[in-house]
Amino acid sequence: MRKIIHIDMDAFYASVEQHNHPELRGIPIAVGGAEHRGVVCAASYEARSFGVRSAMSGAEARKRCPHITFVPPHFERYKEVSVAIHSIFHDYTDIVEPISLDEAFLDVTENKLGIPLAVDIAKELRRRIWEELGLTASAGVSYNKFLAKIASEERKPNGLCTIHPDQALELIERLPVESFWGVGRATTRRMHELGIRTGADLRERSLQELQRHFGKAGQTFYDYARGIDERPVEYERVRKSIGCEHTFETNTAEPLELEQRLLEVLTDLRGRLKRRSFRGRTLTLKLKFADFSVQSRAYSATHLLEEAELEAEALALLRGVELSGRSVRLLGLTVSNPPEELRPGMWVQQWLDFDPASLELKLL
């Protein structure tokens, strides 16, 4: 039988801000939403007690909690903390499936430390996250992903819950259907129209009926109602490259200015390489011109590139480009071609390289 842990950080964005700024602790805060048309990305538990929620307008949050403090989001910091959290996870298992910056599944059936009980690993994870990062996490432990996630919600915030096989069906019976994975507002409304309000109601329906009303998802709902979820914890894909690009406010064709801007790109790239402990043999330069045409040049070494080499090689690549008076609007640098022998053990969250502007709001 599998041993699955679901970790969900408590009010992650808001908790990071409160940890970094002691004056914000114990008071209602909202990350984002300060502008009139702004939207709350996350709310502290103090703010949630007033009914403030993520995806709520800043104006509505202020209406519900007049003394709320709005804090601008710091996405780079949240990503850094998330990397640190996942580093802790990988001390126990490399079978880690990130769901978002603050949430992940771990398969600890066979773990690196040989700890027999998954609940003991969950306790260690929560303890270390608190001691090393000053943040609280809720954990759920069970024999599949569906139940592990349900378990993590049972004792939130800052709790731990285990659902054993002999407890699963009784717990599922009393769950409202909207708490089932994959049941959103529209599906909840449809289920209610059909008289399905709890897990017990769902289990009474035949597979054929559920498939007739919900298509392929009907099979999933049928299985969930019986405590069945065969989905594996998906490994993180190995990163094969790390890059960084800067788009300029104004285009330029001046060689010296381009070199200065290239060094700024390199500074950011070095930070990313260091945070992710990544090295490779190939350095690639990308230029995008004012007409949106793209040109790339690459340098490959027989050895892993050292940090001290990057500046000289990057400048050499740039100086080898024939600009012919064309203005450049973007410069990018990428390190790729990591050593084959390291790839199986490397872990990287590609989902961390997200665009904050396209962030899908969820309750954090």
Please give the domain boundaries of the chain with CATH numbers for all domains.
Answer: 1-161+357-364 (3.30.70.270), 175-224 (1.10.150.20), 241-346 (3.30.1490.100)
d(CA 75, CA 59): 22
pLDDT per residue over 68-113, tens digit each? Answer: 999 999 988 999 999 999 999 999 999 999 888 899 999 999 999 9
Mean pLDDT estimate for the chain? 89
Q: How large a percentage of the chain has pLDDT more than 70?
A: 91
Question: How large is the average pLDDT for residues 253-261?
Answer: 94
For the question of whether the overall pTM of this predicted structure is more than 0.85, the answer is no
Whether 357 shows a pLDDT value over 50: the answer reads no
Q: Can you give the pLDDT at residue 247?
A: 84
d(CA 28, CA 48): 8
Task: Choose the weakest-confidence range: 107-121, 218-232, 288-302.
Answer: 288-302
Q: Which residues contact 9 (CB under 8 A, 6 or more apart)?
A: 15, 85, 102, 103, 129, 135, 136, 137, 138, 364
Task: Choose the weakest-confidence range: 31-45, 290-304, 314-328.
Answer: 31-45
Whether 36 shows a pLDDT value over 70: the answer reads no
Question: How large is the average pLDDT for residues 190-215?
Answer: 96
Q: Confidence band (pLDDT; 50, 70, 90) for 117?
A: very high
Whether 103 is a known active-site residue: answer yes
- Catalytic residue selected from 35, 103, 313, 360: 103
pLDDT per residue over 129-165, tens digit each? Answer: 999 999 999 999 999 999 999 999 998 999 999 999 9
Task: Choose the weakest-confidence range: 73-77, 129-133, 203-207, 235-239.
Answer: 235-239
Q: Could you tell me the end-to-end alpha-carbon distance of the chain, in angstroms, rounded to an integer?
A: 31
